[in-house]
Structures are given as structure tokens and as C-alpha cells.
Amino acid sequence: MTFEGFEVDGVAQIVNISPLMGGYFHVYINKYFVTSISMTTEGWRVHFNNNSWLSRDEADVMIELIESGEIPTL
């Protein structure tokens, strides 16, 4: 699912969340991989792999969208 309309320091940002098998999701900002989100036995886990403007607050919103079904799963 693609989200447009973000802007950071005057630069447009396009966020794409791609579902993968097994409860995993990859998050891309402007086509660059920045993190993965996965469901584990302990709950949701966010693997911050890159420096970006994406914070835990934004990841929590993404998790809410996944849980509500607005971001589809495989």
C-alpha cells in the first residue's frame, strides 16, 4: 500500500508498505528499504535498519493500519 503526501524538510516522501508471507511487512520510503514490521509470539516487532525520519510513533500507526485491515496481508 502506498501513502503519498508526506513532506520532510521540503522534500516529498512516498511510503510504501509491502506485505510478505508469514506476517512480515517491509517499509520503503522513496523506494529505499527502511524497516520491517513483523508479528512475533511477543507481539509486533519493528526492526529499524536505516536512519530515516520514521520513528516508533509512525510505526505504531502502521501497525494499527495492519490490525484494522486497511493494509492487506498475504
Percentage of the chain beyond pLDDT 70 is 100
In terms of residues, how long is the chain? Answer: 74
| 3-class secondary-structure state, position 6 | strand
**What cell numbers appear for 70 in the block?**
486497511
When pLDDT is averaged across residues 8-22 and rounded to a whole number, the result is 91
Phi, psi of 71 (to 5 degrees): -105, 115
Q: Would you say residue 28 has pLDDT above 90? A: yes
Domain boundaries, the chain: 2-68
- Tell me the one-letter amino acid at 28: Y
Q: What is the mean pLDDT of residues 43-63?
A: 86
